[in-house]
Every structure is written in C-alpha cells, then in structure tokens.
C-alpha cells in the first residue's frame, strides 16, 4: 500500500537525517559546553515561536488546498500568500531592533544575534513548502533527497565552523543561515519550475490566508509552548547549565518525536486525499490504521527506554550522562503526541483553526502552570512531567472535538459485535 510505502521512506529519511547529527554528538559535546547548548536551545526555541507569526500557517494551507484547488489556482494562491511572511519578518526585525535588548538581557543571549532571528524563521518557509508539495504528490524519494541534502549541508558546515574554525555555538548559527539561504533559493526555483508559484496579488486570498493563519497562531504557539517553553523556564529558574543538560536528553528522546513527525508527514496527505472522496469503508480503514499507529508508538517508546543506556554509553560525552533521566517521561509525552496527531488533522482538513486554538489555549494554561510548579519543585525533570500530563489532556480534548467536527467510527467494531448478537 502507498501509505505504508511512503511512511517507510519518510521514516528511513528521518532516521538518516537524525543519525548524522546524532553520530556527531560526541564531537559537538566535546567542543560545546552545556552553556553553549543552552544558548543554542534558546535561539532555536525563539525561531520556532516566531514561525506562526511569520509563516502564518501558509505551509499547512498549501498541503490542505493541494487536493481542493487546481494547480493553477494553487500557484496563484501561493504567489499572493508569500508576501505575508516577508512583511511580517521586516516588522518583527524592526521591533527587536527597538526593544530586543530587554529580551536579550532576560534570556542571557547576545542582542546582535537576537535581532536576526526572524530571518532564520523566514528561511524555513520555502523548503517546508517544497517538502509539503512533494508529500502531497506522493513523491517520498524527492522529499528524502531534499531533507537529507539539507541535513548534510547544515551538519557539514557546523563541523567545519565549530571544530575547524573554533566558532563555538556561533558556528552552528552561521551554518543554519548559510544552508537556509541556499535551500530557500533552490526551493523557490523548483516550486516555480513545477508550476506551483505565480506572482500574484489578491486581496481576497491574503484576507483568507490571514484568517486561517491568525486562527492558527494561538494553536501553533501553544504547541510550541508545550514542547519548548520548558527550556526557557529551566534557563530562567535554574540556569543555562541545566538547560544544556536537558537539551541533550531531549535530543536523544527526540528519536521518538522524529518518528512521530514522519508518521504525520505520510498521514496528512494520505488522510486529506481520502477525505476528499470519503466513504464509510474508507472511514473504517482510517480508524483501523490509527489504532495500528497507536500500538506501534507504544512499542517504540518502550524500546527507546530500553536502549537509551547503550546510546549514552557509546555516543554521549560523560559530562552529559545525567541527562538520561529526562527520556522516560518525554517518551510518554511523545506517545500522547502521536495519538493527538491522528485526531487533530480532521480539524485541520475542515480549516477550523479557531477550534485548534481553543484546545491549545486550555492546554497551554495547564502546561505553563505545571512547568512553573514542577521545575521549582523537582528541578529540570519536572518539565518532562508537565509535558506528559499536558499532552494527555490535549489528546483527549482533540479526540472529543475532532469527532464533533468530523465524526468517525472510532468504535465501529462494537457495532459489529452488537449486530452479530
């Protein structure tokens, strides 16, 4: 089946993509201190937080509309939408130029790097859009080539700049900028060549995009808060050293999150295509696959915890060995995330972004409160407790609301048994 074949390629791509930087952990943990990792974790968190404010969900919208619009209409839509991230980047850059010193002081990061963070975020948009087009076209090998080549360039530049040039954490940031610029240009050329980009200005398209993106902002920032505010809390409450330890532990645990993400890369286009011509038989098939996925990720979480001591023994510098304690509860949280994603894409398909935001606003309130309380009480490991509990509640809420918006036969086998009786 195409879905399973595509997911296998996406999973292999993710494994190769993560294997390269993972195998280089002994190098980077030798040349970078826990405090260096703390600075990098802070900047990458800021880049992710700015993403919904700059990209406005345009990449998600391309994936949803791919099966709803003609190619020419999609090209004109994208040609109009692309002006939004450019204007947003300039506005946020001006804001940081004026007021960034207060943010830089609070998070203990250099201002001359902070003000350019919006441009780092902008550079992620075009490669992400190209990736979504490849996934929607069911061309996983093209997707794999794009993703792996980006990783190899970024990691190769990082090793050269950090190890050979001795640029410390700044080398990682330079490599991110250089590879981002190169692949943005490549992505723009390929999107145009495939016929998915036509320069256009439509007030109606921009208005609808802003409506979709504005509704998505609380949801996107909220999900990032659940995943990443833990690091900012640790920096503010405990310090950069513990944030660096936590970042390494989460990086190891993210093996599971990478697999969750690859599942969603295959699941989204597969689900949207089936929903565009839905039947009762297809509904039962989608539900059945969802349960298979849940069982698979439970097993993956167990295996990750069993092999993590071996990973630390061979790949992680001794000064970071204490970070193994973060893996258990992060993997529990990632399991709930995988289940959540099987539900939430139905809400995406119906473009009910305000519903997503309501779910997430509730969850953010819970997550931030738990992060603050648990990190104060238990130290950095409290962040993993907060994440797992928060994702459990958002998973349950997503199932309830998605089933109201797009009812699915989640208990179809019970009806079969009742009919048999």
User: What residues does each domain of the chain span?
Assistant: 2-420
Confidence (pLDDT) at 174: 92
At a CB cut-off of 8 Å and minimum separation 6, what does 89 contact? 54, 118, 119, 121, 122
Q: Tokens 């994440």 map to which residue?
A: 387
- Predicted confidence (pLDDT) at residue 414 exceeds the cutoff of 70: no
Q: Residue 353: pLDDT band by 50, 70, 90 thresholds?
A: confident
Report the pLDDT value the prediction gives residue 246, as an integer from 0 to 100: 85
**For residue 77, what pLDDT is reported?**
92
Question: pLDDT band at 107, cuts 50/70/90?
Answer: confident
- For residues 274 and 80, the model is more confident at 80
Residue 419: is its pLDDT beyond 70? no
Does 371 score more than 60 pLDDT? yes
pLDDT at residue 180 tops 90: yes
pLDDT of residue 81: 92
In the chain, % of residues over pLDDT 70: 95
Cα dihedral sign, 41-61-272-123 = negative
Examine the pLDDT at 418 and tell me if it is beyond 60: no
State yes or no: pLDDT of 193 exceeds 90.
yes
Mean pLDDT (the chain) is 86
- Cα→Cα distances 173→8, 122, 176, 189, Å: 31, 14, 5, 25
The answer, yes or no, to whether residue 1 has pLDDT greater than 60, is no
Give the C-alpha separation, 326 to 385, whole Å: 9
Sorting pLDDT into bands at 50, 70 and 90, what band is 56?
confident
Mean pLDDT of 191-203: 91
Q: Does residue 32 have a pLDDT over 80?
A: yes
Of the pLDDT bands very low, low, confident and very high (cuts 50, 70, 90), residue 421 is low
Question: In the predicted model, what is the mean pLDDT of residues 225-239?
Answer: 79
- 299 falls in which pLDDT band (50, 70, 90)? very high
């Amino acid at each position: 089946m195409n879905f399973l074949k595509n997911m296998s390629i996406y999973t292999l791509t993710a494994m190769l993509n993560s294997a390269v930087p993972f195998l280089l952990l002994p190098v980077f943990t030798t040349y970078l201190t826990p405090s260096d990792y703390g600075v990098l974790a802070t900047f990458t968190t800021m880049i992710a937080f700015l993403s919904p404010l700059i990209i406005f969900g345009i990449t998600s919208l391309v994936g949803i509309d791919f099966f709803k619009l003609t190619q020419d209409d999609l090209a004109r839509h994208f040609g109009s939408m692309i002006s939004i991230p450019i204007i947003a980047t300039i506005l946020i850059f001006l804001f940081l130029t004026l007021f960034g010193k207060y943010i830089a002081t609070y998070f203990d990061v250099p201002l001359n790097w902070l003000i350019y963070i919006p441009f780092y975020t902008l550079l992620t948009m075009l490669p992400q859009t190209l990736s979504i087009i490849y996934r929607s076209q069911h061309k996983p090998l093209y997707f794999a080539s794009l993703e792996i080549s980006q990783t190899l360039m970024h990691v190769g530049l990082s090793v050269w700049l950090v190890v050979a040039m001795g640029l410390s954490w700044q080398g990682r940031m330079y490599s991110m900028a250089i590879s981002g610029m190169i692949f943005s240009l490549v992505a723009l050329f390929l999107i145009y060549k495939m016929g998915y980009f036509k320069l256009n200005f439509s007030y109606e398209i921009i208005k609808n995009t802003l409506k979709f993106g504005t509704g998505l902002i609380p949801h996107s920032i909220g999900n990032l808060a659940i995943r990443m505010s833990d690091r900012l809390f640790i920096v503010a409450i405990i310090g950069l050293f513990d944030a660096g330890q936590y970042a390494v532990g989460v990086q190891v645990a993210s093996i599971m999150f990478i697999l969750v993400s690859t599942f969603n890369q295959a699941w989204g286009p597969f689900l949207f295509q089936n929903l565009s011509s839905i039947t009762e038989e297809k509904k039962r098939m989608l539900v059945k696959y969802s349960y298979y996925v849940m069982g698979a990720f439970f097993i993956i979480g167990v295996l990750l915890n069993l092999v993590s001591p071996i990973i630390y023994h061979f790949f992680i510098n001794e000064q970071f060995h204490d970070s193994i304690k973060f893996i258990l509860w992060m993997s529990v949280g990632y399991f709930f995330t995988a289940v959540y994603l099987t539900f939430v894409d139905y809400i995406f398909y119906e473009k009910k972004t305000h519903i997503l935001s309501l779910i997430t606003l509730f969850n953010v309130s819970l997550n931030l409160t738990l992060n603050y309380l648990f990190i104060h009480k238990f130290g950095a490991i409290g962040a993993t407790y907060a994440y797992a509990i928060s994702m459990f509640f958002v998973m349950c809420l997503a199932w309830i609301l998605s089933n109201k918006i797009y009812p699915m036969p989640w208990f179809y086998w019970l009806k079969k048994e009742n009919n048999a009786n």
